[in-house]
Structure 1
Amino acid sequence: MVKHFKKRIGFLGFIFVLLVGLLAPAASAQTVEPIKYLALGDSLAAGMTPEKGLSKGYSDFTAEYLKGENFLGTYSKAFAVPGYKTQNIIDDLASKPELRSAIAQSNVITISAGANDLLKEAKVDREKRTVTLDPAAVPVTLQTIAKNYIIILKTIKDLNPDASVYVMGYYFPFPFMADAQKPQLIQLAKTLNQTIQLSAAAEGAVFVSVYEKFGDDPKQFVPNPEDIHPNLDGYKLMSAALIDSMAKAAPKAADVPKGHWAEKELNMLVSAKLLNVDEKGNIYPEKAITRAEVADILFKSIPMTKSIPANPGYKDVPKTHPAYMAIAKLTEAGIFTKSDNFNPNAPLTRVQMAKVLAAAFQLKGDGSVPAFKDISATYWAAPYIDAVTDNHLMYGYKNGRFGLHDPLNRAQFAVVFARTQALMTGKK
């Protein structure tokens, strides 16, 4: 099946979608500019094998596909280096004029980075088949990855705003570890992917998911118990995922018209799979967002361990509830407050939004009482509202009120969430 991965994409459809942005006007007709492909990143872009040699990676197979269709102009993986972390790419962007030139001359760019950032924090015992990670270091590292990706993608956009940028996700690299530890490691791999995906969506890049193609037990593609790199079939799977992504238009909500005041933010959540469209492709921007939906979004986007939490005991959130894990984990972290009921289908109000944002992202204000008519100095949520307003995440109404109990709709939530993501990643 893997060796026939090229056949899964129709040539005409691939050409139409990928190259619609590469059409250049000519004197008598339109001509298609050849693909100038640049692969950046770590050992997966370089093509490191399970035997620790260099061979064909996903970028090589992708370039071969484009060449076979007579569509490749140039291809380079000269700046893909085994062991590279996200900071290495930032350093290269700052210090290597030849890299900046290559980016400026390319029209398709892929990046794979982030796994080594986490691996440097890991102690792998192959004999015991265990991986040890400092639980306190993981969230910090994931946040650093998110910040660094924003810098990388913003720099690429500044150098070449017209390039199509694809950010590669990761597969599960530890199929030979002890079964008892696998669930935790699988969740960590998925959290890494979600962290990268959110940063990619924020900067308009396309995230390429490969995890599903490999699955939770990818021994046939990651065959060496002593190594985490895929074999050639694994790299072909990654290439197939990349080509699939190239052939698909970026997901957008059908009911968010161009020019909508929250268009960018809503489509960012759709692209990052934090909000789902229905069968009609609609997201319903004016619909109130529920407490369960917000819990699910925060759980997916906040770097945190995915260990099984204690049951918070909400009468209306059984373990079978689709958002149970998110609600339980965030309650355990103090982001939501324990009570008899969670009210998962109730709209999230503005004051509740202020509380969960301040708690989730550890936001602080200047300590003053917010100057809103509906808030007193002794109001329980005054510190949270102070935090979100001082950080310019939420604002009051023109009538001088904060609107404590007004529900947030999906568009409003998307904008506030995007502001928060920008604040936490240092994005200007």
Structure 2
Amino acid sequence: MKKKILLPIFAAFMIFAGTATTTNNSAEAASISELTATASKYIGVPYVYGGTTAQGLDCSGYTKLVFKQLGYTLNRTAAMQYKQGTSVSKANLQAGDLVFFDTSGGVSHVGISLGGTKFIHAGVSTGVTEADINTSYWSKRYVGAKRVTTFGENTTVAAGEAKKEEVKDAAIDFTVYASRGEVALQLAEALGLDTSDTTSVFPDVKSSSKFAGAAKALYELGVFTGDENGKFNPGSPFTRAQMAKVLVAAYKLELQEQQLSFTDVPASHWASNDISILASNGITNGLGDGTFGVSNNVKLVDLAAFIERAQNK
């Protein structure tokens, strides 16, 4: 991706606001899917006041880090970021707009809109997570939104398992979180699959890869499919929604009478049925706050628990 430099809107504004900037129209625009993939890969990172790295982030440290990886420069604090870009009404929010809140007096909190009412942010009690502007807490504290750039059309279809762009970054701690490749290895072992055939069925998995046998075996079972480019993306993190879909397919789970719903899983969500099946079989009870955590990356400890419970069904 070409680097995008945020140029001054007004010279006078630069004098008083420091680094207020906007996009260079001659640069290649990041896509919405690039934005969401970059923003989502930090889900689960804890909140740390003053934090600017994947070891811990505060709200503006998070937005600054995400935009930096996409080639844009933001100011350091929420209040200073509010001085950048162009004001946008809540009704016209687009993915990538910065949304601001008054949580402790003035503009004191910032997140990244995912389009509509959803946004992603580093919350003090939640770490990096998704939220909804229209909930009672956030709607009362909403200040406004700013657009510092317009993101391009999606380059991948984010609907269904394995449709997210590959996210391969040192920011994800794979000693804590499960990669797609690791999920394949552990699932193939738990199912007792023959992984001796390492013939590559994915362009990004060489036959010499340690994931090749497991990826091939699970592909043959219809458990894993590639993205729209046929890639397996072994180095990408794995979401809880994707985990639900894979487990249901791997263990041929069916919906039981017991029903359990989650506030972050609408009926229209692509993994809604799989998540319902997983919950009805007692394999998951969610995160304890009424949510399933559809976009949260699966931790290795949770992966082991998921597989063990599915094995016992």
TM-score range, shorter chain: 0.3 to 0.5
Give the number of the structure whose residues are more often helix, by fraction.
1
Please give the TM-score of this superposition, normalised by the length of structure 1: 0.30
Bigger-Rg structure (1/2): 1
TM-score (norm 2): 0.40
